[in-house]
Structure 1
Amino acid sequence: MKFRSSEILSDPVFTENRALYKSMGFSDEDLKGPLIGIANAWNELVPGHYNLRQLSEFVKKGIYRAGGMAVEFGVIAACDGQSCGHNGMKYILPTRDLIACDIEAMVEAHRLDGIVMLGSCDKIVPGMLMAAARLGIPAILLVGGPMAGGVTFDGRKSDSTSVSEAVGMLSAGRISKETLSMLEDNAAPSCGSCSYYGTANSMGCAAEAMGMSLPASSLIPATSSARSRAAEETGKRIVELVREGVTAHDIITKDSLENTAKIMVATGGSTNCFIHLSAIGNEIGVSPEAMIEIYERSSEKIPSIAMVNPASEYDMEDFYRAGGIPQVMKELGEDMDLSCMTVTGKNLGENLENWSSPFGVDRRVIRSKEDPFCKSGGLAVMRGNLAPGTGITKPIAMDPSMYYFSGPARIFECEEDANQAILDGKIKEGDVLVIRYEGPKGGPGMREMYFAMKLLYGKGLSKKTAIITDGRFSGTNNGCFVGHISPEAAEGGPIAAIRDGDTITIDVENKRLDVDLSQEEIEARLKDWKRPPRKELKGILGIYAKLAASAAEGAMMKI
């Protein structure tokens, strides 16, 4: 069989290329291929990636056993958790596109035959999937797995975000400094992606639902020996995919993206998944409008059948032991397109045919679609005179009493001002915080209003206030919020017209987000609107601000 790599490794004209490989110890037998890249986002900054160096050795073992040649290279990876609440978060979303470009360049420059992508966290997984969709070669994604749950706090196993909630509690006099210190030491007891159903684990589950990861692999705990076995099997399968001629273009399709959206809606995944799926869809020519139709259709049709932190006290290990993504797929049954191809070389239906959870099914975590936690989906697209493009919310992580919330606007032109107002006790029950100029272009970088939501929770205001923003939210946020508002303020969207005291209404059941102004009043205010000045942007932020698409389109860099 002739491989892509044979174009250079079998042609005498490119003998120098062979010599360069031999300078690193590769043999003639190695150079027969197939040449399998391992795009490894390991580093010592991101807890979710800390075990990837070890996992890559098991991937190599599988590649070698299947007759392939493994070549590993590094990929950048930044930690959302370490970047929340400060300017560092502006860089996080742009890294998604950098990762896609990074992998594309390495694969094409070296004519790799297939690629295993090792990454676990928020922007790394979607960036890798964008690369796979762009390249269209055989590809598999392997995540590092969730970390263990922490010490019990506030009625459940804690996680890293419990510490942020505790900061708000300390500010409100609800806990002591000693309790906060104890939590700091015990909330995140191992490496791995954070133990709640945030963007990292949501996107890992999305990769599995899409067919780009091995079945039942996304939720294996980071410290489990099963994780190493999954890594070895991943290495073996990528060589087989190359020989079988099954590529990412056979797997990442409009239908598989719709399957993925359904799983995210059914499980209450992160709101960020919508912009990431749109960006992946863009790589294969699925329009933003078509993706929004998929989200709206899924939200209307698919019930909420899984409840995981932040929607409940159950964490990712509980979700794994309850049956994980395969069990959710089985419960949805014919609502899924079971004909979609996967990295096993079989379709979804064939993968599920004889599958059963080794731990049984925990109905506290995963229910049947006939007995759902909620008849509507866990994620929803909002419309209205404040969101003529889109807004996104997460009903499954919201107390039902907040499904209809109306109150006076409190305007903040950046995240930091909102956070300080909360800490200073300036937010009252009934307020709707409007945090704007945090969109893709306006931020730039579309920061997450994670910290503001956590501070409101710690202050005891999470069921008494709401936040709307053209920025994003973390997958761990719960409470009444609408993010991804499009058009954004920096583009002259209606959110730029709101003033302190205007009445904002969030109506989740009717999927509406409105301000108590007529269209004529909004347009009159916007006639006098000018984009606030900001300092000159350089580097990646300058590039991103110029090229970023809207949140409704996926917030990717458009050329």
Structure 2
Amino acid sequence: MEKIINPFSIKLTKNNTLPAAQAMLYATGLKEDDFNKAQVGIVSNWYEGNPCNMHLNILSKKIKLSVKRNGMVGFQFNTIGISDGMSMGTSGMRYSLPSRELIADSIESVVKAQHYDGLIGIPGCDKNIPGIVMAMLRLNRPSILVYGGSISSGSYNGKKLNIVSVFEALGEKNIGKISEIEYKNIIKNACPGPGACGGMYTANTMASCCEAMGITIPYSSSSLANSSYKKQECIKIGKYIKNILLKNIKPLDIITNKSIKNAITLAIALGGSTNLVLHILAIAKTANLDLSLDDIQNINNNVPIIANLKPSGDFLMEDIQNIGGIPIILKYLLNEGFIEGDCMTVTGKTIKNNLKKITEISFKKKIIYPLFNPIKKIGHIRILYGNLATSGAVAKITGKEGNFFSGIAKVFNSENSANEAIINNQIKKGDVIVIRYVGPKGGPGMPEMLKPTSYIMGANLGNQIALITDGRFSGGSHGFVVGHITPEAQNGGLISFIKNGDVIIIDAIKNTLTLKISKEEIKKRKKNWLAPPLKVKSGYLYKYTKTVSSASNGCVTDKFEL
């Protein structure tokens, strides 16, 4: 007896009391025989205004053809995307993180309303990826993620370029290190075509996590957007979705405590983005799995950084693909006992079986270092606590910045005012820049602080100052930076009481973040503090401020905090 792989769509296609639904399916071009086939939703974050996403409709069409060739019906649909790189440093960045929730909500809505039996998601920019994964977990129908792929590197004057190069170039221009002409040419040549930002920034971090979790097929995270590998992935993906429909392998069978640990382990080994913390917490909460900031810290304490990747290193995702892709690194970590091999994946096999025929890693090119001689002996993601972060904060400490910083606070109630101060050379050695009221509620939307951190690096201040914020950082940020401070300023966290001239201590050995003032002074300042009005009073961001959880709980909106 043939196995039923269309348990949801059959409720429309074989229900004699729903003639209108069937008439509409005929209108889409379906034939009588198609009503017996599984229906697969094929969702992409395609839109033309961003290199990360502009090619996704092309991939989606290839995938639809692959689904058809494997005896199923594919229906393409779209969800939103927002360019972090383009909105960075503008009011538009407030929509970036909240877009993750819109993506998950919209996919859940379409798949459940349209009764699709399975789902293939094609994300590009970084919030796209966790948004799609969260939707897959909510739906828990056979699903596969196909990453849109990373961009190829740009080039100018023989130097490799990527998106962060242009932010840092502005800082270099402002101190006279490069000319206006050089600055313009860096802008023109940094992004040569389609694909997500090329370093181990948030998109590539989360794509790598998805491969480690098993929700993509091997090589999906490291094959470039315009490569033959990515085309081949789309061509054969129909076979994989058919297989997991037949075996009824669902996202909750794949994304488990073990596979999430694998994802965090890989991301730390690669030196991934601090946005990993927000997104992996949100994914775990959506899957009803227990995961805390302390769990992430415990993994971090036992995983060395072995990847020499930007922003702190020298190489890009294209270089990872050239040495054998993410599978070659996963196999190395598996062989050394750092990841679990018995986790199920969308191939219908365990991760260990997927990696059986993968060749052994070589360390000749100094892109990946051996575990016995790592770039850093423990991970770069530090979870800090202290009077400034009673519910936690997230620091990205690669080791190049040192592990301790004590400095004088320079306080800014917006990113723009901080940026102006940096550009106008008002920040000096020993300062701790404080950017507050930019958290999930105060921002709103917890905007990324890539602009100020890039200005800092471009002005050669990276080892001389620190920056702390209740906002977050781009995967492209580096330097002595601490974000995700909770409670945030809008909720009356201690960060809201800091004054210019206060001493702030960041200790990445003891994992503490401290404002050096007395308890009496804290009480005095708290008594005189009033929460500022929300920056928005209507629209989506207003709804977001009313439902979003704290950064320490992943900023989810569908599981309310008491």
TM-score, normalised relative to structure 2: 0.95
Alpha-carbon shift at residue 534 of structure 1 (Å)? 4.3
CA contact (8 A) 1:311 1:478 kept: yes
Once residues 440 and 255 of structure 1 are traced to their aligned partners in structure 2, the CA distance between those partners, rounded to angstroms, is 29
Partner of 2:104: 100
Alpha-carbon shift at residue 410 of structure 1 (Å)? 0.3
CA contact (8 A) 1:266 1:306 kept: yes
CA contact (8 A) 1:331 1:368 kept: no
Specify every segment of 5 or more residues in structure 1 that has no aligned partner in the other structure, as ranges.
Answer: none
Once residues 408 and 423 of structure 2 are traced to their aligned partners in structure 1, the CA distance between those partners, rounded to angstroms, is 19
Going from structure 1 to structure 2, the CA distance change for 1:241 and 1:265 (only over 3 Å counts) comes to same
Letter in 2 for 1:416: N
Indicate yes or no: 2:555 matched with 1:555: yes
Partner of 1:165: 168
Partner of 2:307: 306
Alpha-carbon shift at residue 172 of structure 1 (Å)? 1.4
**Match 1:392 to one of 385, 391, 394:** 394
Once residues 331 and 44 of structure 2 are traced to their aligned partners in structure 1, the CA distance between those partners, rounded to angstroms, is 32
Alpha-carbon shift at residue 325 of structure 1 (Å)? 2.3
SS across alignment from 1:229:
helix
More divergent stretch after superposition (386-395 vs 547-556): 386-395
Within 5 A, what are the aligned runs for 1:104-503? 104-152=108-156, 156-287=159-290, 290-333=291-334, 334-356=337-359, 362-396=364-398, 399-400=400-401, 402-503=402-503
Query: 1:37-66: per-residue Cα shift (whole Å, max 9, x none)?
Result: 001111101211111111112212221222
Partner of 1:523: 523
Going from structure 1 to structure 2, the CA distance change for 1:520 and 1:339 (only over 3 Å counts) comes to farther
CA contact (8 A) 1:198 1:476 kept: yes
Query: 1:498-545: per-residue Cα shift (whole Å, max 9, x none)?
Result: 111111111122222111124443233223221123454211110011
Once residues 46 and 251 of structure 1 are traced to their aligned partners in structure 2, the CA distance between those partners, rounded to angstroms, is 31
Once residues 99 and 533 of structure 2 are traced to their aligned partners in structure 1, the CA distance between those partners, rounded to angstroms, is 25
SS across alignment from 1:116:
strand
Runs of at least 4 residues of structure 1 off by over 3 A? 359-363, 518-521
More divergent stretch after superposition (25-34 vs 341-350): 25-34
CA contact (8 A) 1:323 1:362 kept: no
SS across alignment from 1:382:
strand
Query: 1:109-154: per-residue Cα shift (whole Å, max 9, x none)?
Result: 011000000112111111001101111111111111111111157x
More divergent stretch after superposition (440-449 vs 169-178): 169-178
Alpha-carbon shift at residue 104 of structure 1 (Å)? 0.1
More divergent stretch after superposition (321-330 vs 23-32): 321-330
**Match 2:27 to one of 23, 26, 38:** 23
CA contact (8 A) 1:548 1:555 kept: yes
CA contact (8 A) 1:410 1:433 kept: yes
Once residues 449 and 493 of structure 1 are traced to their aligned partners in structure 2, the CA distance between those partners, rounded to angstroms, is 19
CA contact (8 A) 1:198 1:475 kept: yes
Once residues 171 and 86 of structure 2 are traced to their aligned partners in structure 1, the CA distance between those partners, rounded to angstroms, is 18
Once residues 79 and 362 of structure 1 are traced to their aligned partners in structure 2, the CA distance between those partners, rounded to angstroms, is 36
Specify every segment of 5 or more residues in structure 2 that has no aligned partner in the other structure, as ranges.
Answer: none
Letter in 2 for 1:68: M
CA contact (8 A) 2:443 2:535 kept: no
**Match 1:67 to one of 64, 71, 75:** 71
Query: 1:326-359: per-residue Cα shift (whole Å, max 9, x none)?
Result: 22222222221211111011111111122127x9
CA contact (8 A) 1:323 1:361 kept: no
CA contact (8 A) 2:432 2:504 kept: yes
User: Identity rate of aligned residues, in percent?
Assistant: 37
CA contact (8 A) 1:191 1:222 kept: yes
TM-score, normalised relative to structure 1: 0.96
